[in-house]
Structure formats: C-alpha cells, structure tokens
Amino acid sequence: MSGRDESLAALAAAVLQPGFVGTTPPPWICRWLGEGLGSVVLFARNVVHPEQVAALTATLRAERPDVVVAIDEEAGDVTRIESARGSSRPGNFALGAVDDPALTEEVAHDLGADLAALGVTLNYAPDADVNSNPANPVIGVRAFGAEPALVARHTAAWVRGLQAGGVAACAKHFPGHGDTKVDSHHDLPRITADRARLDAVELAPFRAAVAAGVQAVMTGHLLVPALDPELPATLSGRILGGLLRDELGFSGVVVTDAVEMRAVADRYGFAGAAVRALAAGADAICVGGERADEESARLLRDAIVAAVVSGELPEERLTEAAKRVGQLAAWTVAARAERPPRHRPTAAGSAVGLAAARRALRVTTAPAGVGALPLAGPAHVVEFEPPRNIAIGPETPWGVAAPLADLIAGTTTVRYAEADVPADPTAGAAGRCVVLVVRDLHRHDWMRASVTRALAARPDAVVVELGVPELVTGAVHVATHGATRAAAHAAAGLLAGR
C-alpha cells in the first residue's frame, strides 16, 4: 500500500463508528484504533455490568486515548446500559408530560455523569423528533411530545444537562422522524410536509439543540420532498449542507443513523450509502447494529478510499469530516478533564429518575372508578404484548406485574401476544382486582378488541398504559408515558397505595 493509500485509509477509518460483538474489545478493534479508527459504538450486547463496561472503555482508551465511545442511551424505552433490567429513568415522553425543563436537565445530567463514569463520551440522544403522528411505529414515547415548542425546550434542556455531565449529546433524527408511519429500519419513510410546516414543527427542536450547543446531530433516513425530492436526508447535500450547516448554523459532527438500515442500504447499497453520506456532508458513519464485524468495517473503509481515488468523494470532504470527528474527540477529552468521572452507577439505578417517573403519572377516573385506587387486595395482571421495534430491542423487560407482585402478596400475571389472547382475557381473575397493562393501545386493533372484551367482563378493571395514551379507556386509566423500569415501579406504587 502506498503512502497516500495508507493516509486515505486512516482518514476513512477516522470517520467510521463501528460496533462489535463481545464484552471486551475484539483484536480487530484494538488494531484499527492504532491505524486511525476514531470512534466505536456500544450496544446492549456489549453491556453486562458497570465495572465490565468501564474496563471495556479503558481498554479502548489504552489503544487510543481520545477515542470517541458512543452509545444509544435514550434513558427511556431505548436503553443500553440498563437493557437487562429496564431503564431506571423515565423517557422523553414522560419528561414532556411533566413539562419541567429543570427536571429534564437534571435527569439528563444524572445520566451524563453515569455514562462518563463508564467511559462513554458520545450519546446518541436526545430524540428531538416531534411525534405529531400518533400512529408512528418507531418514535412514540421516545419523543418529548407532539407539540413543537414543548419538544424544543426539552431538547435544549436535555442537551445542556447531558453535556454538563461530561458527555457529548447527539440530537436525532434530523430533519425529523415524528410524522411517519414507516420505520426506517425496514423502509424509507416519506415526510410530505411543506417547508412552512417543517420550519414550524420538525425543525424547531433542532434549532433549539443547535442554540444549546449540541455537539452532534444524527441524520434520519427520511425522504423529505420539500427539502430534496430525490435523496433521503442522510445522503442529501441540500439537507445536510444547505439546511443544517448553512441555515441552522450547526458546526459540530453530523453522524448518520446506521447505514445498514434498509431505508438506505436497499436503495444505494451498504457501502454506497456510506460514500454518498460523506459526500453529502456527513462526518461520521454509524454501523454495527446488525453488521458488527471487521469485514463490514473494511468494506466501508475500502469503498471510501476507492471513492476518493475515483473522484466520487472529494478528498477535501473526507479530510473535513475526519477533522470534525477529531474536534469532537478533543471536546470529550476536555470534558473528562474538567469533570472527573464520579462513582459508577449501581444496580439500583437512578434515584433522580425514579422520582421523575412518579411525577409523570397521570390518572383518569370515571365516576364508576372513584375509590378504586389503591387496589383493595391481590391483583390479577393481564399484560398485552405488542411487537417491538428494533430500536427498543427484544432484551429489555417491561410490565407492571413484577414490581406490583413485590408490593402486593398474591398478585398473579398472564401475558398475551396477538396470536394467543383468549376470548376472555380476565379468565382466572375471580376474587382479585384486575389490572390490564397495554402499550400503545390506539395502534393495535387486536389489543383494543381484547381490552374491550376484558372490560365487558370486568368493568372495574384498572387500565395501565405504558405507551402513548392516545386512547383512554376504563373506569380508571393510569398513563405512565413509557415502559421503563422507573415507570413500572411508579405505577405499581400507585396501584398498591405506596
């Protein structure tokens, strides 16, 4: 390999943010860090307990002291550091329901301090999307809400809090994934809003994030014809350069959403999407949620080098991208020096988060439900389980039954998916209080039908909604605004009178 080829390979490696499999860094990651790799991203598969994560990041830092260690930790339904138990903090939607920006900043600061103690330096959060479409299958409770001004003020508060805790924030999914019916993991969503609507709604939180000093912005794999009728945002120079850089004035790192996602990979190819994203103005290529091996990273690196050699990707653009990643790395080094990491998080989780989750509870009571809380005795909990989206992941537990059983002896539980729900979901509940636990009831026809049958059999049942409370039903309805462990414990405490 010639000297120029080696230089280009190092630049190409600098703009990659690959994931890997295992609870310790594999040899190829350590070798690549010595050859120019500037960043890595951690997933739930890399996390066992705080001491293990801290040791993992220390190993990475021993190879490259300024390595950017990223994670996708929204501290809500999407959690990586607490994936085995569920997040001990409320998610964005719960914080939006409370609508106390000081609380949002406090929760984000608490998270930032925990991540910094683990050696994480970049967090793919906050989710700055405005969830204006209740049918959205992938955002929902990940957003602060459906009202642009609310989302904007909490996005800014989250950015301030997280970065004050010593970790760079990354607002996502630019220019806004809230008004979609399609999950970009599977296909390309289309945002049909005109420019005036985009300015008023989708872009408002990103302007707030930039004003708050956010260090990174993550692109969404979204087709927005009002901005670019041909290319998705991740691959659009009009959107990344003209809008994000020139109009919004963002000067930090532009990170892509994972380039193996089908919204872009199916249309432009795995490597082709990465090259086009860099050419359009992206600075860092996120990869490894599904393709977490050296071969995939090498394929991207070599494709980037080849694109420079062929003239498809200007060398100046690659150099600029690598420089921005380096500037982010320098920011993280300075942040760690200014804010020495505190004690590591514990299995108990965040006391700040648990208190915040209690504030997010909302109870709607019909006349027939007056006096139904707290529950008068042992409960029979029926949990209706919808399909999960990829962002949340299959490993994170959810539900109210387990924490409620710890508070009320004799509590029993059943869980039904669409394929196995019986004609009477409350069968076996005689002599017990009934609690129906749902998640985005408004989005699932089978769940609504099941709950209707259950309430016909037991009109005294309490409904607990762990998703977006778009549909309120039952004599007593409890909305947690998220399915985190913190939300479950808050709901269980309310039901048990604790």
Domain count, the chain: 2
| Per-residue pLDDT tens over the stretch 100-155 | 999 999 999 999 999 999 999 999 999 999 999 999 999 999 999 999 999 999 99
Domain boundary among 338, 369, 398: 338
Residues 301 and 173 in one domain: yes
440-to-140, 195, 470, 476 alpha-carbon distances in Å: 8, 30, 8, 17
- What confidence score (pLDDT) does residue 1 get? 56
Burial label, 416 (beta-carbon count in 10 A; 0-12, 13-18, 19+): middle
Contact 483, 497 (CB under 8 A): no
Note the pLDDT of residue 5.
73
- How crowded is residue 435: how many other Cβ atoms within 10 Å of its Cβ? 26
Any domain includes 354: no
* Judgement on whether residues 301 and 435 belong to the same structural domain of the protein: no
Please identify which residue in the block is written with the tokens 């005036």: 196
- From 338, 373, 403, give the residue that closes a domain: 338
Q: Are residues 170 and 293 in the same domain?
A: yes
Q: Same domain, yes or no, for 310 and 212?
A: yes
Q: Residue 352 domain-assigned?
A: no
**Residues 134 and 280 reside in one and the same domain:** yes
Which residues face 363 on adjacent strands? 478
Same domain, 327 and 382: no
Q: Which domain holds residue 454?
A: 361-496
Establish if 343 belongs to a structural domain: no
The SS3 assignment for 469 reads: coil
CATH number at residue 102: 3.20.20.300
- Say if 318 falls within a structural domain: yes
| Residue 302 and residue 230 in one domain | yes
Q: Is 463 exposed, middle or buried (0-12, 13-18, 19+ CB in 10 A)?
A: buried
User: What is the pTM for the complete model shown?
Assistant: 0.96
Residues 97 and 205 in one domain: yes
pLDDT along the chain (498 residues), means of 10: 80 98 97 97 96 97 98 96 95 98 98 96 98 93 98 98 97 95 82 96 98 98 96 98 98 96 93 97 94 95 97 97 98 91 77 96 96 96 92 88 96 96 95 97 98 97 98 98 97 96
Structural domain contains residue 350: no
Same-domain check for residues 385 and 468: yes
Confidence (pLDDT) at 184? 76
Q: Which residues are the active-site residues?
A: 185, 257
Q: Which residue among 323, 338, 353 closes a domain? A: 338
CATH number at residue 403: 3.40.50
Domain shared by 410 and 327, yes or no: no
Using CA atoms, how far residue 390 sits from 93, 231, 238, 405, in Å, is: 19, 24, 29, 29
303 domain residue, yes or no: yes
Structure tokens at 4: 């120029």
Query: Quick one: 137 and 212 in the same domain?
Result: yes
